Amino acid sequence: MKKASMQDIADRVGVSRCAVSLVLSGKAKDKRISEALSNRIFQVAKELNYTPNELARGLRTGSTKTLGVIVADISNEFFGELVYHIQQQAYASGYSTIVTNSNEDPAEMLNGIQLLVNRQIDGIIMVPTNNSQNIAQEIVSMNLPFVQVDRFIPGIDASYVILDNFKASCELTEKLYSKGRRRIAMVKHKTSALNGRLEGYIKALEDHRIYHPELVKNIDYSSESEDIEAAVEDLFLGSGNADAIIFQSHELFFTGMRFLRAKGIDFREKISVACFDKTDALALVDFPLSYVEQPIESIGKEAVNILINRIKGTPYTIRKVFEGRVLEV
């Protein structure tokens, strides 16, 4: 079916295409077009299912009412839910979204930004990858509004919306300490983006004088399964002798659980387990588990609101930090 145009509306109403354009762009009163005629034009536009060509309108007005979104891994349940709330809030504010995926790779992040810029987006919400400082600085130099979400790059003059990772990690570690655990390990990705989670963990353990650096295991994205298997073996079958483990993400948690079970390690009573982020899959966990729940909906909505205000000319850099909740399954 042919898409309705302004000319189709003009022909049906019996007016010029210019009159239709003025009404649909909200300039009817300025041009002294009657309310009755305006209502008739809106009615016909609705009957014909007319939708504006946002890209063409953007070229004329400098705005396409479109936001770009770059996340680390759209297959990750956390980022999937975050994108959902971003899209809902954007839609409620009159904006559409284009979503791209960086796969935690700065080169792919740069490709995503170039794609979004070519699509004339008005601003970007992005989850920065590790080593993406130069890319973020380039966005700043382009005067393209953007908001960092979930993580932020120190030294970049740009707004961000994040979780208080330091506090949440402190509280999660203290939860394990209260259960009598004294050799608490952390399995984390090799990235500085979530350093707050490592720093909070270290602070809690140092306060009790039980921090053991060898119990921190770094996982590379490119060899995640192999690194987690090696970490589990060292912590619970080798010299680690850990009695608790914090996984810095739920993805690391589920991969680690598979290896614990595969190695036949009885962790239900001997080992306390904790992770970040609530997912639907946690409902299937059949052992005590402590976790940090993030206010994902609030984070997504706040990022959209900050970005739209920036697009509209608000000059301020806003740093919004939400608190998580430590809960148990």
List the CATH number of the domain containing 238: 3.40.50.2300
Question: pLDDT at position 23, please?
Answer: 82
Average pLDDT over residues 309-326: 93
Query: What pLDDT band is residue 42 in, cutting at 50, 70 and 90?
Result: confident
At residue 216, φ and ψ (nearest 5 deg) are -95, 120
> 131 and 11, same structural domain?
no
The Cα 124–Cα 146 span in angstroms is 4
pTM of the model: 0.78
Instruction: Pick 4 or 102 by higher pLDDT.
Output: 102
Question: pLDDT at position 55, please?
Answer: 45
> 66 and 40, same structural domain?
no
The runs of H, that is alpha helices, within the chain are 6-13, 17-24, 35-47, 54-61, 77-92, 106-118, 133-141, 165-178, 195-207, 224-236, 250-262, 296-311
Question: pLDDT at position 260, please?
Answer: 83
Residue 193 pLDDT > 80: no
Question: Which pair of structure tokens corresponds to residue 119?
Answer: 């699509």
Instruction: Pick 20 or 284 by higher pLDDT.
Output: 20
Residue 59 pLDDT > 50: no
Q: Could you tell me the residue range of the domain that residue 172 belongs to? A: 165-293
> 307 and 158, same structural domain?
yes
Whether 256 is in a domain gets the answer yes
Residue 11 pLDDT > 50: yes
Average pLDDT over residues 88-111: 93
Query: What pLDDT band is residue 93 in, cutting at 50, 70 and 90?
Result: very high
The Cα 175–Cα 241 span in angstroms is 19
> 89 and 44, same structural domain?
no
Average pLDDT over residues 240-247: 91
Whether 1 is in a domain gets the answer no
The distance from CA 314 to its chain's CA centroid, rounded to whole angstroms, is: 22
Question: What domain count does the chain have?
Answer: 3
Helix pair 6-13, 35-47: axis angle to 10 deg: 120
Residue 3 pLDDT > 80: no
pLDDT digits (tens, 9 = 90+) for 258-295: 888 888 877 777 889 999 988 777 777 778 889 999 99
> 177 and 288, same structural domain?
yes
> 216 and 255, same structural domain?
yes
Q: What is the mean pLDDT of the chain?
A: 88
> 236 and 181, same structural domain?
yes
Average pLDDT over residues 42-67: 71
